[in-house]
Amino acid sequence: MLNETQKQVLLDLAWAAIQAHLDKTRITLPDDPDFWIKRGIFVSLHKEGRLRGCIGYIKPYKSIVQSVAEMAVAAAFDDPRFSPLKAEEVSLLEIEISILGELMLIKGPDDVIIGRDGLYISHPWGSGLLLPQVATEWRWDADTFVREVCRKAGLPPEAWRDAQARLFRFEAEVF
C-alpha cells in the first residue's frame, strides 16, 4: 500500500508524462524504491465525468513508475476508442491510477465481491478486463459483472462457463 504522498507523486508523474508527450520533452522518473516494484497498472482519464481513455498492463511487466508514465501517455493518445488528446483538453482531465494485485483464478460470480474485485477473462476467442470500480459505478451485482467482462472481451455473456475460459479476480489500489 502506498501512502498519500506516494500516490500524489504518481498522479503528478502521469500529468507530467502527458504534458511531456505534448511538448516533446522527457521526464525524470521518481527514485522511490517502492515505485520500482513490478505491478499491473491501469491509467484512466476522465473529462467532465466521462471516460476519455483507459489503458494498462494486466500483468507486472514493468515497474510502477515506468508503467504509470507509459500508460498515462497511452490512455491520452493511443486508446482506440477515442481521438488523441488535444493540448486544450489537459486542464479538463481527471487522472485515476489503478495498481493491480495478483490475478486469482475463480469459478464464477459466487467468488466475486463487488467493490473489492476486478475481473479478467481469458478465452481463445478473446479476453477482457474490468477494473473493480466499474461494477460499483454501474451498480452491478456479481452475476452482471461477470457477464459484462465477457461482453468486454467480445464474448457471449455466459462464455465464462466454457471449459476453455479462465476467469480471474484481482484487487486494485485505486487513487
> What is the domain partition of the chain in residue ranges?
4-100, 104-170
Report the topology of domain 104-170.
Dna Ligase; domain 1 (3.30.1490)
Gap between the Cα atoms of 77 and 86, Å rounded? 9
**Residue-wise pLDDT tens digits, 91-133:** 999 999 999 999 999 999 999 999 999 999 999 999 999 999 9
Closest CA to 40 of 94, 143, 108, 120: 120
Report the topology of domain 4-100.
Glycoprotein, Type 4 Pilin (3.30.700)
Q: How much is the pLDDT for 6?
A: 98
Q: How much is the pLDDT for 66?
A: 98
CA distance to 27, 81, 110, 169, per residue, from 85 (Å): 19, 12, 39, 31
What is the model's pTM?
0.93
